[in-house]
Structure 1
Amino acid sequence: MPFAASHRFAMLVALALLPQLASAYDVNIAARDPRAVYLRVGDGVMINGPYSRTPSIFNPTFPTPGVGGNVPLVRATVPANQVGNNTSILMTTPGNPRTTSDWDNFQFCNSGQVYVGGFYRATNASTGNTARLTYSAPAFLTNENNQTIPISQISWTTSGNGDVGAQPFGAGTFSAGSTQLTTISRNQWRETCMTFRYANQNLVASGTYTATVTFTLSQP
């Protein structure tokens, strides 16, 4: 039976009226039932974690992914005298989503980044050897007056503290529709940290422009 884990991700670009203001971490995990996928974007829940913890006589329960956590928000504020000047704006995370890894509680990401990580676990290869990580995005960010900014004005880079090589997925730019970012092999954990920028290439009206992007890890 197909199954998937999804997390929403919100973006907000605030345009001010007045001037102001490592190898990537891939880990093989033990195969066990039940078959599962786990995806965390920003915040998340790992019961009896971290996931790498070995059950003991003092705590015999296996770490178990839970459901919960706030939807992470990234934001860029553009002063009026800089709107559309082609100087990109680093986006921030005002909600301060959790930046430690669910694998081992390591401080994997930094403030301002969004953690993306998870696993695909199964005991039987007949269920499939890979899970797909995709995102679904609208074509535009929209303000309260239905004015728009193309979603392609938002880009990202990826990194992780202590990493020295390629990330599970590299730098990119959002596009409308559903796009595959990477795959996760059976019984593998993968994680990275996303840093976002607003390209600021368009002259647009003042306002708060928002969009929601949904990340999904699925194993058909």
Structure 2
Amino acid sequence: MRALVVDWLVQVHEYLGLAGDTLYLAVHLLDSYLGAGRVRLHRLQLLGVACLFVACKMEECVLPEPASLCLLGDGSFSRAELLCAERRILSRLDFRLHHPGPLLCLGLLAALARSGPQVLLLATYFLELSLLEAEAAGWEPGRRAAAALSLAHRVLHGAGSGPEPALYSRAELGAVEPCMVRAALRGPAPGLAAIFLKYARPQRQGTSLVAARLLRHPPAGPP
């Protein structure tokens, strides 16, 4: 159910044209709240959009109106319920809202590794896919970003992207990369298709389609 809510948040985030860091912070707040106590299943969507609303206040210059968020929720909650959920989040998390997002770490690591734009786009896709995986909540942002970048370099190695950067050891990356690979190979599964379809568009060079093809049929490496 968590993955379904995150998938819906991805759609809302894209529809509203919000900053990338806003999405990562919203999912971080959602996971932090879920880790601190129980939530009724039918209130998960309300919790998710309330986390997005809080994240907007941290990251955005122009905030979406609460009424607009309620409309995007298809009337399943009211403005008063949204604001009440916001207060519960702030109370349960004790206003600990700052989070060094993995998207920022990815940009820094890509600059250090001198990664090209194609590699960075693919790494961004792998990183965003990790939002759907509950186990990713326990990964530190730097390691998560390094796994996405390392995987992108390795997948595109045959396309002339150059060798993958040795930012973390294989042992340190552990199960992070396989989780991203599974998510990329899953494709547009019912209820979990938003990120795949988002990156399949021409504006993002059909990255999700390219990733699935290269993961299934890796290009031959240099002799």
Higher helix share: 2
> Smaller-chain TM-score range?
under 0.3
**Which structure is higher in RCO with an 8 Å CA cutoff and minimum separation 6?**
1
User: Which structure is larger by alpha-carbon Rg, 1 or 2?
Assistant: 1
TM-score, normalised via structure 2 length: 0.24
Higher strand share: 1
